[in-house]
Amino acid sequence: MLLKASATSFAAISSLKQQDIFKDKVAGNNSLCWVPYRRPKREGLCSVRAITGETNSKPLTGVIFEPFTEVQNELVQVSKNSTQSFARQRFEDACEAALNEQINVEYNVSYIYHALFAYFDRDNVGLPGFAKYFKEASDEERNHAEMLMKYQNTRGGKVKFQSILMPLMEFDHPEKGDALYAMELALSLEKLTNEKLLSLHSVAQQCNDAQMTDYIEGSFLAEQVQAIKQVSEYVAQLRRIGKGHGIWHFDQMLLKGADAGGVAAA
């Protein structure tokens, strides 16, 4: 085996007495020996030649790692039947249950956004921009549920669905009108989802599950605060507009996705 090494490594290895290394080998001490070897005409680069022998309990580095001994514990724990996950490692039941709850949250929110899509798509409501916006929002929440399902499977948990509640189907409000009321409802749902995600994160934290906290932070929490900001701006704009003619322009903006920040599903 021939390995390249930096000049620093070469200097460190050079400090070993080669004679001593070979002496050990000849005396039957089967340690791993690294013999410095300098290539001619190539300054700054050097190679080391490793002479492998049988394993020895005396490591050069001082770090003892015996994989075939240490892996035995893991080996006996590999499930004998295929009804249990083979991949599961340091994944607590509490995390598995919390993930299933969050899947249900995302599905419920998706269902409400789908109801909003159906409402704004009616001929006697006639706001196709709002219909499009809430259809995309519904798809995105369902995608969140699916991301969590895939994550559950990645960690060796089991996805369990729970019931989805029947949402309201009428969204007109006597004072606010339907457009503002729907967007305020969306803002409340996004904040509620954020609360649920933070609870999920704290369960992972209590279980010392570093990978799960990292996943929730990177894939959900960052995006969630952006969604809240965007819907908040829509609420503010709709309050300025009121219930009149301006709603039609706002709807066209949603339809074309033409606002300054770009319209995307929350």
Q: Which is nearer to Fe ion, 121 or 139 (CB)?
A: 139
Beta bridge pairs of residue 51:
33
Q: How far is the CB of 72 from Fe ion (least distance, A)?
A: 43
> What is the Cβ-side half-sphere exposure of residue 126, based on CA atoms within 13 angstroms?
5
Beta bridge pairs of residue 47:
4, 37
Stretch that binds Fe ion, among 39-47, 122-130, 143-151, 159-167 (CB under 5 A): 143-151
Is-contact 128 255, C-beta < 8 A? yes
Beta bridge pairs of residue 46:
5
The interface mask with Fe ion, positions 48-87, x = CB under 5 A, is ----------------------------------------
Q: How far is the CB of 39 from Fe ion (least distance, A)?
A: 58
Q: How far is the CB of 102 from Fe ion (least distance, A)?
A: 9
Q: What are the structure tokens assigned to 56, written together?
A: 């020895």
> Rule CB under 5 A: is residue 227 a binding residue for Fe ion?
yes
> Rule CB under 5 A: is residue 103 a binding residue for Fe ion?
no
Task: Give whole-number Cα distances, 263 to 116, 173, 216, 227, 258, in Å.
Answer: 17, 24, 24, 11, 7
> Rule CB under 5 A: is residue 141 a binding residue for Fe ion?
yes
What are the phi and psi torsion angles at 46 (to 5°)? Answer: -145, 170
> Rule CB under 5 A: is residue 144 a binding residue for Fe ion?
yes
Spatial separation of the C-alpha atoms in residues 37 and 105, rounded to whole Å: 63
Q: Which is nearer to Fe ion, 16 or 159 (CB)?
A: 159
**How many chain residues touch Fe ion (CB under 5 A)?**
5
Spatial separation of the C-alpha atoms in residues 139 and 46, rounded to whole Å: 57
Q: Which residues make up each annotated binding site for Fe cation?
A: 106, 141, 144, 190, 224
3-state secondary structure of 48: strand
Q: How far is the CB of 109 from Fe ion (least distance, A)?
A: 6
Q: Which is nearer to Fe ion, 31 or 230 (CB)?
A: 230
Q: Which is nearer to Fe ion, 31 or 100 (CB)?
A: 100
Is-contact 73 55, C-beta < 8 A? no
Which residues here bind Fe ion, judged by CB under 5 A?
106, 141, 144, 227, 266
